[in-house]
Amino acid sequence: MKLLETNRCFEGVWQRYSHVSALCQCEMTFSVYLPPGCESHSGAMAPGDRKPALLWLSGLTCTDQNFVQKAHAAAAASAAGCILLVPDTSPRGLNIDGEDERYDLGSGAGFYVDATESPWRDGYQMFSYITEEFLTLVAEQLPVSLEHLGVAGHSMGGHGALIMALKRPDLFRSVSAFAPICEPSKCDWGQRAFSAYLGSDQAEWAEYDACSLIRQGARGPGRIRVEQGDADDFLEAGQLRPESLQAVCEDAGIELEYQLREGYDHSYFFIQTFIAGHLGYHLVQLKHPATGDASALQTGLASR
């Protein structure tokens, strides 16, 4: 890990790092928020030194910096003593033909899948990168408790959060999403990306589709929170399909806390309004001793 910059914020620090990724075959960049009293470590750490963490997965066109600068999450993370982990959304600079031609394919649009099709399979291994390489790295170098880890995301990143929680319940103890792409196999964004990254076999697509995974028996943590704005243009356009997630969760007996927020769109103004409540939602479930303010954060959202 190479430290690129540090910015003090709400008595904690945002730190930005880079590292060479074997899976993505390039230098990857990510950001971390360390709450007050939570310094970088190297070497062995006692369990009591480690803090709960929320992994945030960003949406199409984003880097790690969109969440850092626009979500306004640091104050809530400081109050609760929670680390925030914010990776990038794709490999960068692999010189793959077409990687920078579209906003919804290639750079900034990894869709959190492990690509099997040429030329994307050489580097576009975002599912394994996040769940194996990235989390192993930060747990080795920072006081992150992988026993108290939640995952959340927005849009494409909401899709990523859902599939990671469903496929790796051993790793993620809680999950939430803002305006997630709930059924990518049935929307234009997902169909374009899956065709390129995974090929034409829709059985392969089903392994990265939250609704399909639930139909196949995946349960994840057993509870999901989704925040959706009713003024979101992509909701009306059929890209998000929360009604499909609602139907499969009801059939499977998975508790889905679905909030449709009047007047809110797809932007980070929506996210910054409700991020503190989502953080509280996660920390109540993670049950870490350091999260004494988690219930207050969750209650604050519920009252809005």
> Which of 148, 159, 266, 278 is flagged as catalytic?
266
Residue 302 pLDDT > 90: no
How confident is the prediction for the chain on average, in pLDDT?
93
Q: Is the pLDDT of residue 46 over 60?
A: no
Mean pLDDT in residue range 102-107: 97
Summarised one tens digit per residue, pLDDT across range 49-86 is 789 999 999 999 999 999 999 999 999 999 999 999 99
Task: Give residue 43's pLDDT.
Answer: 47
| Helices within 148-241 (DSSP H only) | 156-167, 188-198, 202-206, 210-215, 233-236
Given pLDDT bands bounded at 50, 70 and 90, which one contains residue 37?
confident
Hunting for tokens 């929670």 — which residue is that?
82
Q: Among 53-57, 80-84, 261-265, 286-290, which is the least confidently predicted range?
A: 286-290
Q: Kindly report, residue by residue over 192-203, the tens digit of the pLDDT.
A: 999 999 999 999
Q: Which residues of 152-188 are buried (b: 16+ CB within 10 A; e: fewer)?
A: bbbbbbbbbbbbbbbbbeebbbbbbbbbbbbbbbbbe
Alpha-carbon gap, residue 185 to 58, rounded angstroms: 19
pLDDT for residue 303 is more than 50: no
Torsion over CA of 55, 58, 64 and 69, rounded to 10 degrees?
Answer: -100
Task: Return the DSSP state at 200.
Answer: S
Determine phi and psi for 185, rounding to 5 degrees: -65, -15
Quote the radius of gyration of the chain (alpha carbons, Å): 18
Question: What is the value of pTM for the model shown?
Answer: 0.93
**Residue among 90, 145, 155, 174 flagged as catalytic:** 155
Considering only CA atoms, which of 116, 107, 122, 108 is closest in space to residue 157?
Answer: 108
**Separate counts of helices (H) and strands (E) for the chain:** 12, 9
Catalytic one of 21, 232, 278, 282: 232
Mean pLDDT (whole number) for 125-135: 98
Going by pLDDT thresholds of 50, 70 and 90, the confidence category of residue 287 is confident
The verdict on whether 232 is a catalytic residue reads yes
Percent of the chain with pLDDT over 70: 91
Under the banding of pLDDT at 50, 70 and 90, the label for residue 38 is confident
CATH number of 2-35+50-300: 3.40.50.1820
Q: Is the Cβ–Cβ distance between 284 and 83 less than 8 Å?
A: no
Tell me if residue 155 is catalytic: yes
